[in-house]
Amino acid sequence: MHRIGVAAWVAAALAIIACAFHEAGAVGIYEDAPAESAFLLSPRQITVRATLEVTSGGVEGSVYRLLAGFPVRSAFFVSVDQPFVALTDSSHITTGLGDLRLRARARLWGGSGRTLCLLGYLGTGTGNSRFFPYSSQTIDVNASAGYADSLGALTVWAIAGFTWIHNYPDNEVVRAAHTDHLRVSAGASLALGSRTAIGVGALILAYERDARRDLLFATGSYQWTGALGLFADVEVETGPVGERVNDWGAIGGASVGF
C-alpha cells in the first residue's frame, strides 16, 4: 500500500506541475499518446510491430507504422519507427513516408518490481513530404525520465521530460504550431490473467507559446501465442473543438517477439 501511495503522489505532482504552465488551447502535431508509456513498459526483447492508426479532426488521415525494437547490452533498449501517412479529403488521397523516429531507453535503477529509466527520442525529419499534422519534417529531440512500479497485476507509471524542436522548414504554419514543449504523462495498466492487459493514461503537452494539449487514452492487449501479440488503443484530445489537432484516434496492430 505504501508503494501505491508513493506512485499516486508522484503522478499527481507531475500533473499539477504541467497544469500550472499554460491555459490556452491546443497546438502542435499529431501525437500517438500511448507510445511513450508502451516503450517504457515494453520487455527487453527483439520486437517487430506493425500498426494502423486512424484519426479524425482537423485533418483526417491514416498512419501505417512499422517499428523494430531490440536490446543493447544489459541496460539499454532502442527502437526504430517508420510511419507511412495517407491523408484524405473530399477529392483525393495523398500518401508518402513520414518522419523516421528513433527511441532509446536506459535503465538507471530497479528492483522489487520498480524501475527508473532515462528515455529519449529523435524525430529525424526525414519524411519525403510534409503531411501536417502527421509529419512536420522538423528535428525533434526529447529527454525524459520514466518511473514504473509493478504491484502484482497492477503497474503504475509516470513520465516527465522536455522536447526541443529544430530545423524548421520554411513554413509558417509548422513554425507557429510545433514548438518546444514540456511533456508529462501518467497512468496504470492491469493484467487480466496471463494473456490480457488493459490500461489508461493521460498526456499533457505544455508549449512555450502559451498553449497546451491534453490527451486521454486507453490501451488493451492480448498475447495470442508466446510470440504473437495483438493490441488496440484509443485516444481522445480534450479542449475546445476548434483548437484540437485531432478529436480522436484509434490504433490497432500486432507485435512479434523473438
Q: How many CB atoms lie within 10 A of CB 254?
A: 13
Query: How far is CA 195 from each of CA 43, 148, 198, 225, 231, rounded to the nearest angstrom?
Result: 15, 20, 11, 9, 11
Report pLDDT for 74: 85
pLDDT band at 224; cut points 50, 70, 90 = very high
pLDDT at 26: 53
The full DSSP string for 66-95 is EEEEEEETTTEEEEEEEEEEEEE-SS-EEE
pLDDT digits (tens, 9 = 90+) for 231-246: 999 999 987 776 788 8
Give the pLDDT confidence score for residue 111 in this predicted structure.
85
Give me the pLDDT at residue 27, please: 59
- For residues 11 and 167, what is the distance between their CA atoms, to the nearest angstrom? 33
In degrees, to the nearest 5, what angle opens at C-alpha 82 toward C-alphas 81 and 86? 135
Banded model confidence at residue 58, pLDDT cuts 50, 70, 90:
low
Which residues, 6 or more positions from 90, have their beta carbon under 8 angstroms from its beta carbon?
Answer: none
Report the distance separating Cα 129 and Cα 28, nearest Å.
Answer: 17
Digit-coded pLDDT (tens) for 87-96: 877 677 888 8
Q: How far apart are CA 209 and CA 178, in angstroms?
A: 10
* pLDDT reading at 210 higher than 80: no
- Range in 53-62, 199-208, 214-223, 243-252 with the lowest mean pLDDT: 53-62
Structural contact between residues 223 and 36, judged by C-beta atoms closer than 8 angstroms: no
Q: Which CATH class is domain 2-257?
A: mainly beta
Alpha-helical runs (H) found in the chain: 2-19, 35-41, 172-177
Helix (H) or strand (E) holding 123: strand 114-123
Question: For the segment 182-201, what is each residue's pLDDT rounded down to a tens digit?
Answer: 999 999 999 999 999 999 99
Return the domain boundaries, the chain. Answer: 2-257
Residue 22: pLDDT band (50, 70, 90) is very low
Q: Measuring CA to CA, how many Å separate 193 from each of 71, 150, 174, 190, 217?
A: 26, 15, 45, 9, 22
Nearest-angstrom CA–CA distance, 143 and 206: 15
* CB proximity list for 97: less than 8 A, separation 6 or greater: 82, 83, 84, 85, 126, 127, 128, 129, 135
Q: What is the pTM of this model?
A: 0.86
Least confident of 9-18, 77-86, 156-165, 182-191: 9-18
Mean pLDDT of the chain: 86
Higher pLDDT, 120 or 209: 120
Q: Is the pLDDT of residue 82 over 50?
A: yes
Q: Give the residue among 131, 135, 117, 25 at the shortest CA–CA distance from 75.
A: 117
